[in-house]
Amino acid sequence: MPPGNACPNRESGVDYGTIALAALLQFFLVAYSFPLAELFSQTPVLFSDAGYHWYHMKLALALARDGTQWAYDPFFAAGLPRGVFLDPSAHFPAALAALFSPAISEAVLYKIYAFASALLAPLSVLLAARLLDLPKRQAIVAMVFAMLLFWTSMFRWYYTHGMVSFVTAAYLALPFAALFFRYTCGRGGGWLLGGTGAFGALAFFYHPLFPVLAASLIGPWLIVSFRLTVWRRVLAALTVIPLLSLLPNLPWLDAVQEYSKAFPVGDFMAAYQAKVDPSKLWMELLAQGEGCKAYAPIALLALWAAIKEKGPAARPLAISFLSAAIILLVFAAVGAALRPLASLQPNRFAAAGYLFLTIPAAFGFMRVWQALRSPTPALRATAVLTAIMVAISTSYAAYEVAREVSYADIGHVGKKPPMVDGAGPYTVWLEDWLRQHTEESSRILFEVSLPRLYDGGRVTGYLALRTKREFIGGPYPYMHAASFQDGQAFGKALGDLPSDLFATYLGLYNVGWIVANTATNKDYIDALPGVDAVANNGSFRIYRVRGHDANFFLKGQGTISHREHNRVVATNVSGPAIVLKYHYHERLQIDPPARMYPVQSDLDPIPFIGIDDPPAEFTISIR
């Protein structure tokens, strides 16, 4: 067989009717649980990380307005440069905000993005099946399993908790790999090569972990398909596709690197999804922990493909996907043991590993179907047993889909519908209280909740922008040295933080109020002199710093009269030299011009802003 025809080349059974039916089924499931009536309403999605993404979409507007990748953010950590590229799941929705706001609000744009991303799941699998020339029955099997994973595995949890981009990137890795396989087998020309590179660039922008997902598929393929591929095409693909995928993303990659050097505050990404637990390999397969009922039948059918698939092109294809899945599953279980890899949050890759098994599972389904009619009794009996196990597990997984879209108070893998429910009661109460009882002249030491006690969401950014108040810490846990979370404040454990030093920090950062929600932090604050509890709501307690001198100047005098993303306006400034209680960065500019320089403090790893001969009124921003 000529090399150019080594890959499966029969007419694909995936017709437009199959694609339309899959899209329609997914549409109705998503529309019901979203619900569709809220798609164009102004109600935002704030649950879990979605609130954090909302904040970055607002930030994107400032970036678009000023034509820069950076914006000075005065609302957190005493002022820091920030860009949407620092939130890996917000690249695409932030780009939508920059392009279409204010004509379309950020709340609506995020919901359109999340809704459309959910529809891409089954369509991506069917597209991959068509590119791989799978027969219709196999394509449908792969699509059914992929949909079950979307609704009943950790993918559902990720999706409803704001990790929409990662879920979509995992599904997009399938057609991307299929394009790569197709080209390296001698199918298509330069347009396919360039199109695959453009696809990779978009998917990389969609989520920065896409290259990890794609590499896990392509690596095994290059090893097991060496007799099928055209090696000059392999060399071209390994050169051109990564280059085209990387080049458009270099600006934000460079910005992330520069930011990490300028503000070394620890790797907050490694605080999540980085548990080392070898038992994940079998516990999740058995639907324990973060596993699901669909895992076992998918893995069992994939095993059938590995053993019984004999097709000259189908077997390498099945083995490639099976190998990629094993790599990801092992990585998910123990990858975080290597500290540099912990920031990739290895645990999240387990769901992607089972997703990749859907292709070999489709091959295995056909082998089981054939074995049911085998003249060999032992093989036939094994096939019957496999079919029964697959039917029972798959049926239960389908039942779980019905539970997942149900609005009833029953167990759900992800957030119980509706996905769109706006600001919760604690968030509304905090917003109202902060508006009425605090002032812009002081900052708020705001405890970032690790378990998302604020109505299940990361709403710190939402509260800061809605109230126009500055918070100490970041819009996400572990992000800055000044962060305030369970048992920790200003980069130190509370047990190691004397009350007088804590009070010094309050003055350094101009803190007039404190919001705490955990028992550890409340007990510590309750024992402090000069701090009074002024409000309670559930587990939340708000304190006022008694006798606080509201002042944003460490040296000199003046008033901070206005702040927004990339704007800090000072008025009534006096003194031959001033030092602001805002952090310095070399990209900061002052208008009208004056000499601006860093002033280091022993209490903060990041210097503050010093200005000689300051104008009576000036604006600080990044250009």
Of 23-27, 80-84, 182-186, 457-461, the range with the lowest mean pLDDT is 80-84
Omega before residue 375 within 30° of 0, cis = no
Omega before residue 35 within 30° of 0, cis = yes
Cα–Cα distance, 441 to 447 (Å, whole number): 20
In contact, 446 and 426? CB cutoff 8 Å: no
Highest mean pLDDT among 233-237, 336-340, 585-589: 233-237
β partners of residue 588? 622
CB atoms within 10 A of CB 612: 12
Cα–Cα distance, 554 to 616 (Å, whole number): 17
Triad 502, 507, 508: Cα angle to 5°: 95
The reported pLDDT for the residue numbered 423 is 93
Does residue 272 surpass a pLDDT of 80?
no
Cα–Cα distance, 508 to 227 (Å, whole number): 67
Cα–Cα distance, 202 to 124 (Å, whole number): 14
Does residue 5 surpass a pLDDT of 50?
no
Question: Which residues, in sequence order, are CB contacts of 212 under 8 Å at separation 6+?
Answer: 344, 349
- Bridge-based pairing state of the strands 511-516 and 443-446: parallel
Half-sphere exposure of 373 (CA within 13 A, CB side): 4
Cα–Cα distance, 524 to 530 (Å, whole number): 13
Whole-number CA gyration radius for the chain: 27
- Bridge-based pairing state of the strands 588-591 and 618-622: antiparallel
Does residue 378 surpass a pLDDT of 70?
yes
The reported pLDDT for the residue numbered 79 is 93
Which uninterrupted H or E stretch holds 111? helix 106-131
Question: Which amino acid is located at 599 in the chain?
Answer: V
The reported pLDDT for the residue numbered 147 is 96
Does residue 263 surpass a pLDDT of 70?
no
CA dihedral of 459, 462, 463, 469, whole degrees rounded to 10: 130
- What are the tokens at 595? 């000499």
Mean pLDDT of the 326-339 span: 94
Nearest to 173 by CA among 340, 356, 348: 356
SS (H, E, C) 368-388: HHHHCCCCCHHHHHHHHHHHH
- Bridge-based pairing state of the strands 531-537 and 540-545: antiparallel
- The DSSP output letter for 47 is T
In contact, 89 and 57? CB cutoff 8 Å: no
Nearest to 439 by CA among 405, 411, 470, 399: 470
Question: Which residues, in sequence order, are CB contacts of 489 under 8 Å at separation 6+?
Answer: 445, 483, 497, 502, 505, 521
Question: Regarding predicted confidence, which is higher, 13 or 170?
Answer: 170
Three-state secondary-structure class, residue 304 = helix
Question: Which amino acid is located at 235 in the chain?
Answer: L
Half-sphere exposure of 350 (CA within 13 A, CB side): 31
Cα–Cα distance, 314 to 321 (Å, whole number): 11
Widest CA span of the chain, in angstroms? 97
Rounded (to 5) percent helix, strand, coil in the chain: 55, 15, 30
Cα–Cα distance, 470 to 623 (Å, whole number): 22
Of 60-64, 213-217, 255-259, 556-560, the range with the lowest mean pLDDT is 255-259
- What are the tokens at 449? 């909740």
β partners of residue 444? 471, 513
CB atoms within 10 A of CB 382: 16
Of 11-20, 205-214, 369-378, the range with the lowest mean pLDDT is 11-20
Cα–Cα distance, 550 to 440 (Å, whole number): 9
Question: Which residues, in sequence order, are CB contacts of 419 under 8 Å at separation 6+?
Answer: 33, 34, 45, 47, 114, 160
Cα–Cα distance, 55 to 40 (Å, whole number): 19
The reported pLDDT for the residue numbered 264 is 56
- The DSSP output letter for 424 is -
β partners of residue 133? none
Q: pLDDT tens-digit profile of 127-182?
A: 999 999 999 999 999 999 999 999 999 999 999 999 999 999 999 999 999 999 99
Cα–Cα distance, 505 to 495 (Å, whole number): 15
Looking at the chain, the whole-number percentage of residues with pLDDT higher than 90 is 77
Rounded (10°) angle between helices 136-152 and 295-308 = 150
Confidence grade of residue 262 (pLDDT, cut at 50, 70, 90): low
Does residue 265 surpass a pLDDT of 80?
no
Does residue 362 surpass a pLDDT of 90?
yes
- The DSSP output letter for 613 is S
Q: How far, CA to CA in Å, does 230 sit from each of 3, 7, 185, 197, 331?
A: 6, 11, 6, 18, 30
Instruction: Tell me the pTM.
Output: 0.92
- What are the tokens at 501? 């030093």
Which uninterrupted H or E stretch holds 579? strand 567-583
The reported pLDDT for the residue numbered 623 is 80
Three-state secondary-structure class, residue 577 = strand
Q: pLDDT tens-digit profile of 439-467?
A: 999 999 999 877 777 888 889 999 999 99
The reported pLDDT for the residue numbered 126 is 95
β partners of residue 532? 544
Confidence grade of residue 9 (pLDDT, cut at 50, 70, 90): very low
Cα–Cα distance, 56 to 129 (Å, whole number): 36
Does residue 612 surpass a pLDDT of 70?
yes
Omega before residue 102 within 30° of 0, cis = yes
Cα–Cα distance, 72 to 87 (Å, whole number): 16
Half-sphere exposure of 79 (CA within 13 A, CB side): 26
Does residue 6 surpass a pLDDT of 90?
no
